[in-house]
Amino acid sequence: MRCFVALDLPPPVCNYLAGLRSHFGSMGQLRWVPADQLHLTLLFAGELPEAELPALQAAVASAPLRALQLHLAGLGHFPPRGEPRVLWAGLGGDLAGLAALHGHLTTATAELSVPREDRDFTPHITLGRVKSPFGALALVGKCAEVGATLRPKPFPAVALCLYSSVLRPSGPVHTPLLRRALPTV
């Protein structure tokens, strides 16, 4: 089963981010993530054997939760140099709290078949994936331009959620398996 653990965001933030697509036209033929599927991934478990699912659920259920105030902090792309393949929104705010939650999940799943990242944890919200190199390099300048207009208005993370993800030709379908509401400030 393909799984990941993420933070759900308030619907107004997701709708605002989805509205940014109007600034990009057809550059890179982006496949945009629908507003109702935008999230902040904390742990990508990948193709997890079903026998390990209860342990992953236990890791999510035991994660210490606290209120997390975040704000949007620009737009960027992966890879950071060269032709973009992924467009994302950066985050600011309680990054220490995000890192602690990510660290707990990483430690709690150390014995599972969860792939380990070689890179440092970079909190971001994936907005879209580039499907064509035509116009992709123009995205670099457009990310900087549009990202500079984002206001750092704070918002709370809503819930910690374990999702299953099924890949379809029309895009992935995410189904919540376990959701825990975060405390509010």
Nearest C-alpha neighbor of 62 from the set 108, 125, 113:
108
Check 77, 102, 124, 174 and give the catalytic one: 124
Q: How many CB atoms lie within 10 A of CB 131?
A: 12
Rounded Cα distance, 77 and 144, in Å: 10
What is the value of pTM for the model shown?
A: 0.93
pLDDT in tens, 55-87: 999 999 999 999 999 999 999 999 888 888 999
pLDDT in tens, 91-123: 999 999 999 999 999 999 999 888 888 788 999
102 noted as active-site residue: no
77 noted as active-site residue: no
Measured CA to CA in angstroms, residue 115 lies from 19, 43, 84, 102, 137 at distances of 33, 9, 23, 14, 30
Domain count, the chain: 1
CATH number at residue 133: 3.90.1140.10
Parent domain of 126: 2-181
Check 23, 39, 77, 104 and give the catalytic one: 39
Nearest C-alpha neighbor of 46 from the set 88, 82, 1:
1
